[in-house]
C-alpha cells in the first residue's frame, strides 16, 4: 500500500499523537493491587492476540518493566521497529494484566476502537518505523510522538462506524482462521487413522472389530499391508530414482543464468511452491547435470536444516535440476501413488526416524543412505490412492479457506487505508 500523502476531508483532523486535546500519553506506573496478575511483555502478543504470558506477578515482586497499566479504553502498541502488536484494553485486560513498558499506552478522547484500528494500519506502522532509533534494538520514544500523525473524522459516530466496519472484517478473518485450524486438526487426526487402519475396498475405515491386524516393527497394521523401505515406491532399476543433489562445486555463482533450466532448492520446498525462485542454468550445464534433473511428479525432499520437508513438482513445473540441499525421489506410477508417498514422508513417525538418523552438529542433515533405511507402512496401490484422495479432500478445503483468508486480508488492508483517510466514508458504506 502506498504511503503517499492523502488529502483528508474538511471535517477530518490530522494531529500528532502527543496532541493533548485528543490523546493522553500514559506514563509508567501501575495502581496497587492484591494477589496475582498476568504480566505481558511484547513477546506475549502477536498482532492483536495474546499468545502467552511472561509470568504471574504481584505488586511488590514484579520486574521493573512490568509497569504499564491497561485501563479500560486505553490502547497499547509495541514501540519497537517492524513489530505489529496492538491491544485495546477491556475489562479483562484491565483487571487481570499488567503490560511491559515496551508498549506505548494511549488514553484517547476520540473513540478507542478507532485508534485501535489506526494503530494497525500500514500508514501508522510506516511512521513508527521511520522514527525508530537505537543501537541494539530500534524503537520510538515518547519524544517521537510529535511526528506520528493520526487522522480521524471529527464526528465520533463516524469514528465508531469505521471501527465497526473494520471490526466486522476482522471477525470474518478470525472465523476463517479458526476454520482452517479446525480442518488442520481434523487432517492430523485423519492422517493418523488412515495410516493406522486404512480404507478397505468398500471405502470403510477398518476397525479391530471388523478386520484382522498384525504386529510389525511399526506397530499394528492391517493384515494385508506390509512394512518396507522406499524401494517399494520406486523403480529400483533406475539409478537416479533416489538422487541427492550434486556437489556444490557443480553449481557455483557464475554457473547461474537469467533464464533457462530451473534450479530447485529448499526455497521452493519450504514454501510449497515450485514456481518461485530465480536460479537457472543454461542447456549445456543442464545436460552436464542431467542425472540430477527433476520433472513433474518427482518428490523433492529437504536434506539439510529443515530436514524432511517435501514438495511434489506439479505438472506445470519447469524442467530443471535439484541443488545440493535436496534429494529427488521419482515414484514409480506402477508401484505407488505419489501423493501417498509424499504424505508418508511427512508423517511424524517418518520425521522421527529422520531426526534419529540425521547427522550434523550445527545443522542436521540426511543423505541417500538414511532415506534408504526409512521404514514405511505399505498398502497396495489402490488403497494408497484411497488414502491420499481422502487427505487431498481435506487439503483442498484448507487451501480454499487460506485463499479466502488471504483475499480478505488484502481487501482489509485496502479498506483500512480508504476508511482511515476518508477516501471512503463509512456512512456511505453503511447506507449500501
C-alpha cell at 273: 511452491
Is residue 362 assigned to a domain? yes
CA distance 59 to 223: 63
CA distance 427 to 79: 33
Cα–Cα distances in Å, from 389 out to 339, 395, 402? 8, 10, 20
* Together in a domain, 17 and 142: yes
Is residue 331 assigned to a domain? yes
Is residue 393 assigned to a domain? no
DSSP 8-state secondary structure symbol assigned to residue 239 = T
Residues whose CB is less than 8 angstroms from the CB of residue 89 and which lie 6 or more positions away in sequence, other chains included: 70, 71, 72, 73, 74, 75, 76
Other CB atoms within a 10 A radius of the CB of residue 343 amount to 22
DSSP 8-state secondary structure symbol assigned to residue 76 = E
Cell 479446525 belongs to 182
pTM of the model: 0.77
* Together in a domain, 237 and 134: no
Q: Where is the domain boundary, 153, 171, 186? A: 153
Helix (H, G, I), strand (E, B) or coil at 152: strand
Cα–Cα distances in Å, from 405 out to 45, 86, 177, 230, 408? 21, 20, 7, 37, 5
Half-sphere exposure of 3 (CA within 13 A, CB side): 11
Q: Where is the domain boundary, 126, 153, 180? A: 153
CA distance 203 to 206: 9
CA distance 263 to 355: 26
* Together in a domain, 108 and 249: no
> How many independent structural domains does the chain possess?
2
Q: What is the 3-state secondary structure (H, E, C) of 258-320?
A: CCCEEEECHHHHHHCCCCCCCCEECHHHHHHCHHHEECCCCEEEECECCCCCEEECCCCCCCE
* Together in a domain, 232 and 351: yes
* Together in a domain, 117 and 21: yes
* Together in a domain, 105 and 240: no
Is residue 83 assigned to a domain? yes
List per-residue pLDDT tens for the chain, 432 residues long.
445 567 899 999 999 999 999 999 999 999 999 999 999 999 999 999 999 999 999 999 999 999 999 999 999 999 999 999 999 999 999 999 999 999 999 999 999 999 999 999 999 999 999 999 988 889 999 999 999 999 999 999 999 999 999 999 999 999 999 999 999 999 999 999 999 999 999 999 999 999 999 999 999 999 999 999 999 999 989 999 999 999 888 888 888 999 999 999 999 999 999 999 999 999 999 999 999 999 999 999 998 777 778 999 999 999 999 999 999 999 999 999 999 999 999 998 998 888 888 765 455 678 899 999 999 999 999 999 999 999 999 999 999 999 999 999 999 999 999 999 999 888 765 555
Is residue 193 assigned to a domain? no
* Together in a domain, 239 and 139: no
Q: Are 235 and 330 in contact (CB under 8 A)?
A: yes
Q: Which domain holds residue 149?
A: 12-153
Q: Where is the domain boundary, 138, 153, 168? A: 153
98 φ, ψ (degrees, to nearest 5): -125, 140
Nearest to 53 by CA among 70, 41, 67, 65: 41
Cell 523433492 belongs to 300
* Together in a domain, 149 and 16: yes
C-alpha cell at 48: 492483536
CATH assignment of the domain containing 59: 3.90.220.20
Residues whose CB is less than 8 angstroms from the CB of residue 363 and which lie 6 or more positions away in sequence, other chains included: 304, 305
> How does 301-330 read in b/e, with b if 16+ C-beta sit within 10 Å?
bbbbeebbbbbbbeeebbebbbbbbbbbbb
* Together in a domain, 232 and 333: yes
pLDDT of amino acid 252: 86
Helix (H, G, I), strand (E, B) or coil at 61: coil
Cell 480442518 belongs to 183
Q: Are 303 and 264 in contact (CB under 8 A)?
A: no
* Together in a domain, 144 and 254: no
Torsion of CA 64, 66, 69, 73, to 10 degrees: 140
Is residue 219 assigned to a domain? no
Is residue 201 assigned to a domain? no
Nearest to 419 by CA among 126, 129, 114, 171: 114
Is residue 417 assigned to a domain? no
Amino acid at each position: 500500500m502506498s504511503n503517499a500523502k492523502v488529502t483528508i476531508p474538511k471535517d477530518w483532523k490530522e494531529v500528532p499523537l502527543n496532541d493533548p486535546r485528543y490523546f493522553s500519553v500514559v506514563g509508567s506506573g501501575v495502581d496497587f493491587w492484591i494477589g496475582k496478575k498476568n504480566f505481558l511483555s511484547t513477546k506475549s502478543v502477536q498482532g492483536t492476540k495474546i499468545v502467552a504470558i511472561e509470568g504471574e506477578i504481584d505488586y511488590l515482586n514484579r520486574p521493573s518493566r512490568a509497569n504499564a497499566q491497561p485501563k479500560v479504553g486505553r490502547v497499547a502498541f509495541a514501540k519497537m521497529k517492524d513489530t505489529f502488536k496492538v491491544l485495546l484494553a477491556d475489562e479483562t485486560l484491565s483487571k487481570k494484566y499488567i503490560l511491559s513498558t515496551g508498549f506505548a499506552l494511549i488514553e484517547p478522547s476520540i473513540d478507542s476502537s478507532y485508534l485501535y484500528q489506526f494503530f494497525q494500519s500500514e500508514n501508522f506502522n510506516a511512521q513508527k518505523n521511520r522514527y525508530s532509533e537505537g543501537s541494539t534494538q530500534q524503537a520510538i520514544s515518547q519524544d517521537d510522538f510529535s511526528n506520528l500523525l493520526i487522522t480521524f473524522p471529527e464526528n465520533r459516530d463516524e469514528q465508531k462506524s469505521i471501527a465497526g466496519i473494520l471490526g466486522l472484517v476482522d471477525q470474518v478473518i478470525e472465523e476463517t482462521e479458526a476454520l482452517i485450524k479446525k480442518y488442520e486438526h481434523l487432517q492430523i487426526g485423519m492422517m493418523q487413522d488412515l495410516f493406522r487402519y486404512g480404507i478397505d475396498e468398500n471405502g470403510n475405515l477398518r476397525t479391530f472389530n471388523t478386520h484382522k491386524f498384525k504386529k510389525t516393527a511399526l506397530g499394528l497394521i492391517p493384515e494385508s499391508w506390509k512394512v518396507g523401505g522406499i524401494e517399494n515406491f520406486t523403480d529400483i532399476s533406475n539409478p537416479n530414482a533416489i538422487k541427492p543433489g550434486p556437489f556444490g562445486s557443480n553449481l557455483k555463482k557464475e554457473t547461474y543464468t537469467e533464464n533457462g533450466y530451473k534450479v530447485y532448492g529448499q526455497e521452493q520446498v519450504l514454501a510449497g511452491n515450485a514456481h518461485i525462485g530465480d536460479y537457472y542454468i543454461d542447456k549445456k550445464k543442464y545436460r552436464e547435470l542431467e542425472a540430477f534433473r527433476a520433472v513433474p511428479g518427482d518428490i523433492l525432499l529437504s536434506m539439510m536444516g529443515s530436514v524432511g520437508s517435501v514438495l511434489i513438482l506439479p505438472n506445470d513445473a519447469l524442467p530443471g535440476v535439484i541443488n545440493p540441499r535436496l534429494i529427488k525421489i521419482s515414484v514409480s506410477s506402477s508401484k505407488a501413488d505419489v501423493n501417498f508417498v509424499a504424505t508418508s514422508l511427512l508423517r511424524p513417525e517418518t520425521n522421527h526416524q529422520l531426526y534419529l538418523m540425521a547427522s550434523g552438529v550445527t545443522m542436521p542433515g540426511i543423505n541417500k543412505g538414511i532415506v534408504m533405511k526409512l521404514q514405511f507402512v505399505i498398502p497396495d496401490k489402490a488403497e494408497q490412492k484411497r488414502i491420499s484422495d481422502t487427505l487431498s479432500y481435506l487439503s483442498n478445503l484448507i487451501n480454499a479457506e487460506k485463499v479466502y483468508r488471504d483475499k480478505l486480508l488484502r481487501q482489509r488492508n485496502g479498506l483500512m487505508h480508504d476508511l482511515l483517510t476518508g477516501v471512503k466514508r463509512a456512512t456511505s458504506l453503511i447506507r449500501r
